[in-house]
Homo-oligomer: A and B are copies of this chain.
Amino acid sequence: MKGIRRLAEHLSISIGTVSRALNGRPDVNEATRRRVLDAAAELGYVPNQAGRTLRQGTTNAVGFMMEAGADTSGNPDNFFFGVFDGVQAVLSRHQLDLVVLPCATDEDPTEYLRRMIARRLVDALIISATHRKDPRVELLNKAHVPFIALGRTGTPSDHPWIDLDFEGVANRAVDRLVAKGHRSIAVAVPSSDINLGVIFLQAYKEALARHGIAFDQSLVIYTSSSEQGGYQAAHELIGMAQRPTAILLVYELMAIGFYRGLRDAGLNPGQDVAVIAFRESPLSRFLSPALTCFRVSLRDVGIGLGESLLASMPAYADIYPQGIVRRVWPMELVEGDSDNARSS
């Protein structure tokens, strides 16, 4: 005999009562509950999740889908880990667990997600690395799986999402550079159709317009979000007929390669070319010159994701009554030395 049956036998009561006691139902004698709880601890009883899932139709787990594709995992580990930590802080309030679902590089993300949904491993999902057009959104809507996206997408849908404030970043970065005399500002964005590149580029254009600077398509460098991509960006920038005096890098990892590329050509980052990169990470301040970039509390983003996801799940909607959350997350400027020099 195993499981709840064994526990019930041990206590000479019915499995129904054991179950009710364990699950905190009010209609149980307190003395009985104590005995059950004590015996469960003593015998190391833990309910079999498959049994519960089959009966209740819920897994008590939330999935976080990740892709290893260059344009997102270029971020250091701590990006996602910071977010996980916040998500878990929320989920643990309700005995929910977070499981991360990594999509293999050789598998189509949409097919992967389809499989994971069919497997019914989780009750709800968080997706990240949203694309301009993202078929995963339709898939999740059709399957009626509650989900939230970390990142906006152009695919029409009324799902909840949280995204970083790329517009604010572009605005403040351009303002800063213009204030220091720069008029020719390049930008390096991902060459994939990941949506943040599109949003960032659009905001960059509008910021230039505010300052009466004409947008120049040739100053947009499409490259990969990695050290290598930054190196290539430097190469392209150096090769321009009129060399820009400043550049915005969407990913901080690009800065390592960009610095190197500039130096290989005898130029000094921060001096010959002002650099502002997107997200602050530990490396930002240890590079020389220290990177001017933008900070966000990953844990807070994770908490936001967790709470907003629960708000969209019927079983938790009354505890988190915020409805369908669509939120642009503010970021804070961190001044470094990479954009100090004034443009002549």
Contacts and interface: CB of A to CB of B under 8 A. Distances in A.
Interface string A119-140: 1110000000000000000000
Given A80-B77, A282-B227, A50 B54 contact: yes
Interface stretch (A100-108, A309-317, A325-333): A100-108
Interface string A75-94: 11111111011001100100
Nearest to A47: B118
B81 A287 contact: no
A244 interface: no
A260 B259 CA distance: 14
A287 B100 contact: no
In the complex, the count of this chain's copies comes to 2
A231 interface: yes
Contacts of A15: none
Contacts of A257: 286
B88 A104 contact: yes
Contacts of A102: 81, 84, 88, 98, 100
A340 interface: no
Given A53-B53, A99-B101, 11 more contacts: A50-B59, A50-B120, A73-B81, A77-B77, A77-B80, A81-B102, A88-B102, A227-B282, A227-B283, A259-B288, A260-B287
